[in-house]
Amino acid sequence: MPDVGHNGPPIASDQLRSIIERVETLEDEKAVAAEYINEVYAEAKSNGFDTKSLRKLVSLRKKDRTKLLEDKAMLELYAAALGCLDLV
Amino acid sequence: MPDVGHNGPPIASDQLRSIIERVETLEDEKAVAAEYINEVYAEAKSNGFDTKSLRKLVSLRKKDRTKLLEDKAMLELYAAALGCLDLV
Amino acid sequence: MPDVGHNGPPIASDQLRSIIERVETLEDEKAVAAEYINEVYAEAKSNGFDTKSLRKLVSLRKKDRTKLLEDKAMLELYAAALGCLDLV
Amino acid sequence: MPDVGHNGPPIASDQLRSIIERVETLEDEKAVAAEYINEVYAEAKSNGFDTKSLRKLVSLRKKDRTKLLEDKAMLELYAAALGCLDLV
DNA sequence: AACGCATAAGTAAGAC
DNA sequence: GTCTTACTTATGCGTT
């Protein structure tokens, strides 16, 4: 438990500083990766690709294949019942 | 321009108050609608419907049919080129 | 439980249609309110107000006062321990 | 421009595959960093820290100091005009 | 018309 | 198991 809430200098500041710094370092790494991802998409776009479709494809490939098919089947069932199967 | 940044009582406060109140009233209405929507889904769920599919269907029906089909075609094209057409 | 997954015409379609239509009506109401909100902000902006601050203020007023003050105190404590109290 | 939309095998598939794979590799790196971040917060929490305040502090430190102070001043001005300065 | 921002939606994790 | 809460992604909007 950090020694907070009392009068005088709050103390767990070394521990606090360590936490913040570790997070910030990791967030930097995350931001760098995110930036590279954007660059890849930007390059793809300049080569005529549709980035929205690319992003969608990446997200689909990340998901569990079985569950994806189940969800798709359920959606088609509902769409059929509503007479708008063409939407899915 | 609101009369701000000077010493003494900031003045556009009547105007400011009006803005805030109008927004808050409208946000209440929005929140009420959102709550009713959740209730409809909750009832649907208790009747055995899959709410995820219901939500997806609603969002599909909201979109422009033509654009939807174009996007779908593009995605399938990419998926086919990658040999994972079954995902879409 | 909707009568789905069998051969022949899926049947709970009346119930399904009712659900979808009720949701869509409510979403319309929600969208109308959201549009009015945007109009209020747009008008405020044209009168020289900073909409970001207005939005922030609205969101603050929506929250529980007590919890807000507690959170603020905790944040200030941490910021003080890090020597960046000026940020909060 | 990818050679798509014609009959026969769509061709830019090598290029497409390269894009997807590069993105997926980078997303992995991003996810790893995100996971480490969560671990740091989990450890902090087990040591008695309030993670919400920690996250808030990290996000504040990420922002431009000058702009932060400007925004804060504007918000306080509005809050004062509304008589709810205690919220900010 | 493309860019970034800001809101909203969907998703996944965690608490009760 | 449900329900909230936070994070991620997606979309729309305003700006340049």
Residue A10: predicted pLDDT: 54
Q: What pLDDT score was predicted for residue C61?
A: 94
pLDDT for residue C11: 63
Give pLDDT tens digits for C43-80.
999 999 999 999 999 999 999 999 999 999 999 999 99
F8 C1' – C40 CA distance, angstroms? 30
> Could you say which residues of chain D have pLDDT below 70?
1-11
* Distance, CA of C71 to chain centre: 20
Question: Which among D5, D16, D81 has the least Cβ separation from residue B13?
Answer: D81
Q: Residue A86: how many CB atoms within 10 A of its CB?
A: 10
Give the pLDDT score at A5.
46
Helix ranges restricted to H, chain D: 13-46, 51-62, 65-82
- The pair of structure tokens assigned to A56 is 């969608």
Residue D59 token pair: 């996000």
Of A17 and C2, more confident: A17
Q: How would residue C10 be classed by pLDDT, with cut points 50, 70 and 90?
A: low
Burial label, C54 (beta-carbon count in 10 A; 0-12, 13-18, 19+):
buried
- Taking all atoms of strand E, which protein residues have CB closer than 7 Å? A 42, 63; B 30, 34, 52, 55-56, 58-59; C 27, 30, 34, 37, 52, 55; D 38, 42
- Taking the C-alpha atoms of residue A75 and residue A71, their distance in angstroms, rounded to an integer, is 6
pLDDT tens digits for range C23-51: 999 999 999 999 999 999 999 999 999 99
Chain C residues within an 8 Å CB radius of D88 = 57, 60
Residues of A in contact with D34 (CB under 8 A): 30
Residue of chain C whose Cα is closest to the Cα of B12: C49
Identify the burial level of C22 via C-beta atoms within 10 angstroms of its C-beta, where 0-12 means exposed, 13-18 middle and 19 or more buried: middle
Residue C8, pLDDT > 60, answer no
Q: Which residues make Cβ contacts (< 8 Å) with residue B77, sequence separation at least 6?
A: A53, D4, D5, D10
Rounded to whole angstroms, the Cα distance separating A71 from A68 reads: 5
Is residue C19 within 8 A of residue C6, CB to CB? The reply is no
Closest CA to D61 of C46, A20, C30: A20
Q: In order along chain B (88 residues), what is the average pLDDT of each group of 10 residues? A: 50 92 97 96 95 97 94 95 92
| Sequence-ordered list of residues with C-beta below 8 angstroms from that of B75, at least 6 positions apart, any chain | A53, A56, A57, B88
Chains that touch B (3 or more CB pairs under 8 A): A, C, D
- Domain map of chain D by residue range? 1-49
Is the predicted pLDDT of residue A2 greater than 80, yes or no?
A: no
Closest CB to C47: pick one of B15, B26, B61: B15
Q: For residue D86, which residues of chain C lie inside 8 Å, CB to CB?
A: 65, 69
pLDDT value at position B2? 52
pLDDT of residue A6: 46
Positions of strand E less than 7 angstroms from a protein CB: 3, 6-12, 14
| Both tokens assigned to A38 | 């954007």
The helix/strand/coil state of B2 is coil
pLDDT at residue A11 is higher than 70 = no
Chains that touch A (3 or more CB pairs under 8 A): B, C, D
pLDDT the model gives residue D54: 96
pLDDT at C87: 87
Closest CA to B49 of D52, D1, C2, C68: C2
Out of B60, B68, B87, the one facing A60 most closely (by C-beta) is B87
Q: How far is CA C82 from CA A3, B11, C79, D87, in A?
A: 14, 37, 5, 23
Distance C35 CA to F11 C1' (A): 15
pLDDT value of residue B72:
94
Mutate to test the interface with B, among A75, A77, A82, A84 (most CBs of B within 10 A): A75
Q: How many Å apart are CA D52 and CA D56, to the nearest integer?
A: 6
Q: Of all nucleotides in the shown strands, which has a C1' nearest the CA of A58?
A: F9
Within a 13 Å sphere around the CA of D63, how many CA atoms are in the beta-carbon half? Answer: 18
Contacts of residue D12, defined as CB under 8 A and 6 or more positions apart, other chains included, come to A49, B81, D2, D3, D4
Residues A28-77: tens digit of each pLDDT: 999 999 999 999 999 999 999 999 999 999 999 999 999 999 999 999 99
CA of B3 to C1' of F8 (A): 41
Chains A, D: CB contacts within 8 A come to: 82
Higher-confidence position of A9 and A23: A23
From C1, C23, C54, residue closest to B58, measured CB to CB: C23
pLDDT given at position D6: 46
Question: Do B53 and A68 count as a contact with CB atoms less than 8 A apart?
Answer: no
Longest dimension (CA), chain B: 70
- D84 HSE (CA, 13 A, CB side): 22
